[in-house]
Amino acid sequence: MTKRKGSDFAGVGVAIVTPFKNGALDIAKLKEQIEFQIASGVTFLVPVGTTGESPTLTHDEHERVVSEVVQLASGRCKVMAGTGSNCTAEALRLTRWAAKAGADASLQVAPYYNKPTQRGFYEHFKAIAEEVGIPHCVYNIPGRSAKNIEPETMVKLSELPNITMVKEATGSLDQCSQILNATNLTVLSGDDSLTLPMMSIGAEGVISVAGNIVPGDLLAMVKAALAGNFAEAACMHHKLFPLCRDMLSLATNPIPVKAAMKLLGRDTGELRLPMTELEPKELESLRGTLAKYGLLK
């Protein structure tokens, strides 16, 4: 198989939660989480993405979390900082800062709410790629951004040297195939439960939510798939599937993953409005899933 542009990030990236305590950043808990992830062998960490509640972090907090993760990772794994915005100037500012702080790459979400044209998408990502020289991963998630970055636009973006990856979260294997057929971008799944199906057609890993809980199991599945051991990977997929689905189906991410981490004693579970805790019925369902997985008695 031809080596793709962003293959240095093939594997498992974990979109880490941002821990809070009494409304403020909980840096001590963040450090614990980073050590847990690195000990599990993950390929890279993704701070201040959607799972990290970036929409409700102040600019100072955003920069603090990126800085802490880069310093704590200390070269033991890569860091792909979430620096996207629906304002190109703001995305540029955040991305410049992350690059200066030592991030290995940036995650650039599709501009949300203002629904740019396909030309607008292209010009937005082009401006960032031309200004900041680190690798960039385009994050296509129309369920949150309200508009799809079409495959034809991805083809144009792939011609820019340091746009090297796409986090593909459309849920469409056809779109994934189109991108893989027409570009040399590394495709990373943006949906845990679709990681193995996407890897069966050429994707090279995942940026994971469930990895906050079971990074080692996700890594085992992805490594098996990258090695072509799809029977082994399928066994892991079916074990992981109920947990992965709960992370997205019980409530909006990151509500379920923070609830799971609280149940496991790994986070306070604290969220910032407008995110609110799981309802009691949803929490019991999650508790049952964690128990069946073997994570809770």
Instruction: Please give the Cα distance from 232 to 236 (Å, whole number).
Output: 7
CA atoms within 13 A on the CB side of 218: 33
User: Annotated catalytic, 167?
Assistant: yes
The helix (run of H) or strand (run of E) holding residue 46 is strand 44-46
Cis, peptide link before residue 151, omega less than 30° from 0: no
Cα 279 from Cα 287, distance rounded (Å): 12
Q: Is 293 part of the annotated catalytic residue set?
A: no
What sign results for the dihedral spanned by CA atoms 180, 183, 188, 193? negative
Residue 267 contacts residue 285 (beta carbons within 8 Å): no
* Catalytic pick among 29, 78, 147, 167: 167
Q: How far apart are CA 7 and CA 86, in angstroms?
A: 27
Tell me which H or E stretch contains 225: helix 215-226
Residue 67 has which token pair?
Answer: 């800085």
Which member of 78, 122, 139, 258 is catalytic? 139
Query: What percentage of the chain's residues is helix, strand, coil (to nearest 5)?
Result: 50, 15, 35
DSSP single-letter state for residue 112: P
Between CA 294 and CA 3 the distance in angstroms is 37
Q: Annotated catalytic sites, by residue?
A: 139, 167
